[in-house]
Amino acid sequence: MTDLMPILGYDALEFYVGNARQAAHYYRTAFGFQVVGYAGPEHGVRDRCSYVLEQGGLRFVMTAGLGPESEIVQHQALHGDGVKDVAFAVPDAEEAFRVAVERGAEPHREPYVDEDEHGKLIRSAIKAYGETIHTFVDRSNYEGVYAPGYKPTRHQQPGESTGLQYVDHVVCNVDLGDMDKWAAYYANIMGFTQLHHFDDEAISTEYTALMSKVLWDGTGRIKLPINEPAQGKKKSQIEEYLDFYRAPGVQHMALATDDIVQTVKAMRANGVRFLTTPPTYYEDLKTRLDWSTIDADLDQLAELGILVDQDDEGYLLQIFTKSVQDRPTVFYEVIERHGSLGFGVGNFQALFEAIERDQAERGNL
Ligand code: FE2
């Protein structure tokens, strides 16, 4: 079967933030990105400032508007800092748009071409959950920094890499009852299939529950878990997100490393705050997992708060940050996979309890 919607990978994650200069500084000093490009009034872009950050195969763009009439500023006022665009690299942005719209996607922007002395960049975009969009990017004929209008940065100190390599998965939270609708969106429009399904039995604590379906492109390059809240005794973390983001949107991005111990050490030293794990979790791990196939030092994992999960295919190491902005919305996962294609279902209990401790502290449980 020919893939009518071939996706090469993530092109970039673009955030709309209140202060792009400071956001770029945070991702440089705390997460270890390099600021490689900039667009703004100095280069003739009148309505916004954007900073392009790269590390390994990761590319983030921090964008802020410059006045109250800006749709970026309005987006930020409503949602707080968040992910506007989960952009995919494609071989043909016109064809991707045509196929997606033909299959029922709502257009966000018709195919458009930007050109400068570095070549030609072709993009198009469709709407996704909430106000999030997916831009299709064909940069096969473009050699410049990110896009026309951007210039290499001159005044930024180089960041020191923390070892983050690529986006492992991007998770969205959608409204109650909408998970299946969005799973069908990725199945019908992108041709994705379901990799996992977690029901509220698997993902619940005494108080809160959620359901999740993971859609993927079949190769592992793109994995998109979709969460919806489920009935619990108290407010679920998904509801808390939806209350504060005021819409469906990106909940967390998992960033892969091949040395999670070094990455987390560096990020902690840089001031990134992670969820805490109680010592009982590590006591429990000693007997819950088959340690003959896991190459990790449990004491070191416990010291750093890194979680472990195992399935038939292998194991994974993971850890979650706290929210990276004032609203309890977007956070990150750092993940190191060894064969496992899972998402750490064995850790959901401990993880949710950790999230609930923080929720209770904020008065939102
Ligand atoms: Fe995750």
**237 C-alpha to center of ligand 1: Å?**
14
Q: How confident is the model at residue 231 (pLDDT cuts 50, 70, 90)?
A: confident
Whole-number Å distance, alpha carbon 223 to ligand 1 midpoint, is 10
Tens digits of residue pLDDT in 295-322? 999 999 999 999 999 999 999 999 999 9
156 — pLDDT class (breaks 50, 70, 90): low
Distance 101 CA to ligand 1 centre (A): 29
pLDDT of residue 155: 62
What is the 252 CA–ligand 1 centroid distance (Å)? Answer: 7
Q: Give 29 Cα–ligand 1 centroid separation in angstroms.
A: 23
CA of 163 to the centre of ligand 1 (A): 18
CA of 39 to the centre of ligand 1 (A): 31
The whole-number pLDDT of residue 5 equals 85
How far apart are the CA of 240 and the centre of ligand 1, in A? 17
Give the pLDDT band of residue 346 (cuts 50, 70, 90): confident
Specify the domain boundaries for CATH 3.10.180.10 within the chain: 9-152, 164-362
For residue 78, the CA-to-ligand 1 centroid distance in Å is 25
* Residues 5-34: tens digit of each pLDDT: 899 999 999 999 999 999 999 999 999 999
* Torsion sign across C-alpha atoms 334, 339, 340, 341: positive
Tell me how far the alpha carbon of residue 16 lies from the centroid of ligand 1, in angstroms. 22
Is the pLDDT reported for residue 158 higher than 80?
Answer: no
Which of 208-217, 260-269, 300-309 bottoms out in mean pLDDT, i.e. has the lowest? 208-217
Full 3-state SS string of the chain: CCCCCCCCEEEEEEEECCCHHHHHHHHHHCCCCEEEEEECHHHCCCCEEEEEEEECCEEEEEEEECCCCCHHHHHHHHHCCEEEEEEEECCCHHHHHHHHHHCCCCEEEEEEEEEECCEEEEEEEEECCCCCEEEEEECCCECCCCCCCCEECCCCCCCCCCCEEEEEEEEEECCCCCHHHHHHHHHHHHCCEEEEEECCCCCECCCCEEEEEEEECCCCCCEEEEEEEECCCCCCHHHHHHHHHCCCEEEEEEEEECCHHHHHHHHHHCCCCECCCCHHHHHHHHHHCCHHHCCCCHHHHHHHCCEEEEECCEEEEEEEECCCCCCCCCEEEEEEEEECCCCCHHHHHHHHHHHHHHHHHCCCC
Dist. CA 171 → ligand 1 center (Å): 7
pLDDT of residue 196: 84
Task: Determine contact, residues 351/357, Cβ cutoff 8 Å.
Answer: no
Looking at residue 206, its pLDDT comes to 66
Least confident of 54-68, 170-184, 277-291: 277-291
Which pLDDT score, from 0 to 100, does residue 2 have? Answer: 62
pLDDT at 344 over 90: no
% of the chain beyond a pLDDT of 90: 79
Tell me the pLDDT of the chain averaged across its residues.
Answer: 93
* pLDDT bracket for residue 49 (50, 70, 90): very high
- Whole-number Å distance, alpha carbon 255 to ligand 1 midpoint, is 9
Average pLDDT over residues 231-247: 89
Q: Which two tokens stand for residue 148?
A: 């026309």
The per-residue pLDDT for 43 is 87
CATH of domain 164-362: 3.10.180.10
- Distance from Cα 84 to the centre of ligand 1, integer Å: 19
Architecture of domain 9-152: Roll (3.10)
Task: Provide the pLDDT for residue 184.
Answer: 97
Each residue's pLDDT tens digit, 100-140:
999 999 999 999 999 999 999 999 999 999 999 999 999 99
- Over range 214-238, report the average pLDDT: 89
For the entire predicted model, the pTM comes to 0.95
Task: Tell me, in angstroms, the distance from the centre of ligand 1 to residue 271's CA.
Answer: 21
Ligand 1 center to residue 156 CA distance, Å?
31
Q: What is the pLDDT of residues 159-193, one digit of tens each?
A: 799 999 999 999 999 999 999 999 999 999 999 99
Q: What is the mean pLDDT of residues 248-257?
A: 98
Please state, in angstroms and as integers, the Cα–Cα distance from residue 252 to each residue in 37, 46, 93, 241, 322, following that order. 24, 31, 26, 11, 10
- Flag whether pLDDT at 200 surpasses 80: no
Distance 319 CA to ligand 1 centre (A): 9
Expressed in angstroms and rounded, the spacing between residue 40 Cα and the centre of ligand 1 is 33
